Amino acid sequence: MAMKYLELDNGKLRVSNIVLGCMRINNLDEVGVEKHVRTAMEAGINLFDHADIY
């Protein structure tokens, strides 16, 4: 299944419909973080949420 994207700002910005939440990513070691982010990017995710609280 192909990643779907949403175009913003009259097509100047294209973001994936799926967002990777990174609030707890600091619980991983460097290798784990790299694997986590690389897997997301390979799936087409290009939007990462770095909020530390909701």
Q: What pLDDT is stored for residue 26 in this prediction?
A: 87
pTM over 0.85: no
DSSP state of 27: G
- 3-class DSSP state of 51: coil
Sign of CA dihedral 34, 37, 43, 46: negative
pLDDT for residue 53: 81
Give tens-digit pLDDT for 17-33: 999 999 988 899 999 99
Contact 6, 47 (CB under 8 A): no
pLDDT tens digit string along 34-51? Answer: 999 999 999 999 999 998
